Amino acid sequence: MDTNECSLCRPGGFALTRQMFQFAGIEIPEAGAADTESIDPAVPFRVIDIGCGAGGTMRWLSEHCPGWQISGLDKNPDVHEPGWIETGCAEKLPYPDQTADIILMECSCSKAAEPAAALREAYRVLKPEGWLLMSDMYARKKELFLDGMLGRLESAKTICDRMADAGFALVNMQDVSGTLAEWIGQQIFDGNLESVCAALGAERKILKEAGCGYFIAAAQPSGLWRTLSYVKEKSPFYQKKFTSVWGQLGEMAGSDVRLAPDSFSWADFRTLPLTTPEELKAEPETFLCVPAKEIARIITLKTSGSTGAPKRLFFTEDDLMQTADFFETGMQYMVKPGDRVTVYMEGPGFFSIGGLLKEGLGRIRVETKVHGLIHDMEAAARDGEGADCLIGVPSQMYALAAHAPGLGPKTVLLSADYVPVSVQRFLERTWNCRVFTHWGMTETGYGGGVQCGARGGYHMRDRDLLIEILDPETGQPVPEGQYGELVLTTLRRRGMPLVRYRTGDLGRMIAEPCACGCLKPRLDKVEGRLDDSVRLSGGKVLSMHLLDELLFALDEVEDFQASYNAAQKHLTVAVMKKAGYADTVGSRVKNVKAALTEYFGNCLTVSVIEKEISPYIGSGKRRLIIEEK
């Protein structure tokens, strides 16, 4: 049983320490137990506890993991034993570069005189795949800077931004403020309340103003600087594209050399020119960083509504297994061990979307059937019988629900295209289920971000992907909370890394904490694509996602196609009726035209026809066809 260390800034005791290690995929065994599968006994971990106090966590780890190399550092020589714990400050660590597997900072970063410098030092000392594990207090309301024992109380956003500036990718950051209330309650029961209040002094009077909270977090050195080094050495495309800026990076012997944020800052990174889809189409082989024999999958993309050469993307097996890792974690919001899932997306090959979902779900003991994209509605309905979760493209799931309302999934995951609110509501009403959504694209390796149970934005693959929100006209960051173009940098990809790649998707980041307790920024609902929209007179915009919202809200519409003639300012819509509606063609056409005319007014003219449309071809994605002549 864990011993609960009673210290003012250690609510939750060793239970939270154990949870932080779980964030890093490490299970701390019970004292005296054999090493678990997640800990390789042949490679002892080097752990450094910064601000370790009297060394309580060090002793606890030594009991549970006797083969580990554990060191401690504290600035106060009066609280620790000489010879076992070093005296020093977090801003200047007495350890060589890249020598630690894990750095612990439990309630110590907020007390550092210069927390930014302390985090930069942690970055320097950690190995490239090492972990920074943190717990600390934070301000849920107003930031405060105190002179006493509590140090500073800063917002989660300030803490996240500082960690990013120091070079870290934040993998998990969870609010655990309930443990703070439990700790205070325990002090009352133990008769320690007076001593706690005396230690806090006058600070206790202003803690309420700050809305004092408590968090635990796990972060790793971001792969950004290693990626830049890697493409400089391996990618013919980026060797040429970034010629004018490579000199800033200094001498790099190879991809094993890790740049630091202080030698090539975020400001320097944002001077790199953007990579465009047109460049990827024109010379995809020049993006390759590995020999062709190491490529496990080549994906060719040519979606409806597009013209010109297709995009070709290359992935190694390791690249695709990172996606399976993400599916393993992300799908746990929707399923539990023993559940059954039917996937109506590309498959069943091992490196297809369906195959990677099956791999990830199999790790958590979920049975998965990969039906593939829907071509036969009866067969699709049969494969969905008895499934606890269905995964598919929005338009195809909408059609399946209309055809087979008796299917009873508990959850549905919609992916690979814009998700209209009307489609989500129809599925929830028809199947009495919860609908989750996912954002990703082939360029992200399929997986990008997924909703949790709170369904308040997408939790992202921050270890693997860096997302910037830029003004599509200027290429500069948009103000916080505003929409812009999503620009992608892959962080751990070997086959075809992408640096500052323009996705064409429109979105924004949410800084406010999620209702699930996650304090990391997350992606809000993606609001369509730049190449799928037209600005009209009067400030209105015509886009496929807007048409989705307008027309899928009409009960009788099952699917539709749309094209716009820019020269004539004319929109043509072909609608497919939903099964079970026996009204005449004329009334259905009239209803659709009325909805479009009411919204667009005199911005354009509209014609509506009815015809048979199959949503069961291609990738299931739908695009507005824009004709210039």
Distance between CA 231 and CA 224 in Å, rounded?
Answer: 11
What's the pLDDT band for 589 if we cut at 50, 70, 90?
confident
Check pLDDT > 90 for residue 386.
yes
What distance in Å separates the CA atoms of residue 447 and residue 323, rounded to the nearest whole number? Answer: 6
For 99-145, the pLDDT digits (tens) are: 999 999 998 999 899 999 999 999 999 999 999 999 998 998 888 77
Looking at residue 198, its pLDDT comes to: 59
Question: pLDDT at position 185, please?
Answer: 60
Q: 599: closest CA among 554, 542, 553? A: 542
The answer regarding whether domain 316-528 maps to CATH 3.30.70.360 reads: no
Q: Where in the chain is the domain with CATH 3.40.50.150?
A: 13-27+42-221
Q: How far apart, in Å, are the Cα atoms of 525 and each of 438, 444, 476, 545, 590? A: 9, 17, 21, 12, 31
CA-closest candidate to residue 75, choices 51, 100, 110: 51
Q: Give the number of other CB atoms < 10 A from CB of residue 482.
A: 11
Query: How far is residue 387's CA from residue 368's CA, in Å, rounded to a whole number?
Result: 9
Residue 33: pLDDT over 70: no
Annotate 49-70 with DSSP letters as a single string.
Answer: EET-TTTHHHHHHHHH-TTSEE
The pLDDT score that the predictor gives to residue 591 is 86
**Higher pLDDT, residue 310 or 46:** 46
What type of residue is 491? Answer: L
| Residue indicated by tokens 């026996």 | 582
Tokens of 69: 């190399």
Go through 263-277 and write b for each residue having 16 or more CB atoms within 10 A of its CB, e for each that does not.
Answer: ebeeeebeebebbeb
- CATH class of the domain defined by 533-627: alpha beta
Confidence (pLDDT) at 5 = 43
Cα gap 22→26, rounded to integer Å: 5
Whether the pLDDT of residue 191 is over 80: the answer is no
Please report, rounded to a whole number, the percentage of residues in the chain having pLDDT higher than 90: 59
Structure tokens at 560: 């539709």
What is the C-alpha to C-alpha distance for residues 145 and 151, in angstroms, rounded to an integer?
A: 6
pLDDT digits (tens, 9 = 90+) for 525-553: 998 888 778 888 777 788 888 888 888 88
Helix (H) or strand (E) holding 549: helix 544-551
Residues of the chain with CATH 3.40.50.12780: 316-528
Pseudo-torsion of CA 580, 584, 589, 594, nearest 10°?
-90
Strands 69-74 and 46-50: parallel
- In angstroms, rounded to a whole number, what is the distance separating the alpha carbons of residues 219 and 134? 8
Determine the CATH number of domain 13-27+42-221.
Answer: 3.40.50.150
Over the stretch 58-113, which tens digit does the pLDDT of each residue have?
Answer: 999 999 998 899 999 998 877 766 677 899 999 999 999 999 999 999 989 998 99
Q: How many whole angstroms separate alpha carbon 146 and alpha carbon 187?
A: 23
Give start-end residues of each CATH 3.30.300.30 domain in the chain: 533-627
What is the token pair recorded at 183?
């700790």
The most distant pair of C-alpha atoms in the chain lies apart, rounded to whole Å, by 89
C-beta separation of 467 from 476 below 8 A: no
587 neighbors 593 (Cβ within 8 angstroms): no
Give 45 or 340, the one with higher predicted confidence: 340
Question: For residue 41, is pLDDT > 50?
Answer: no
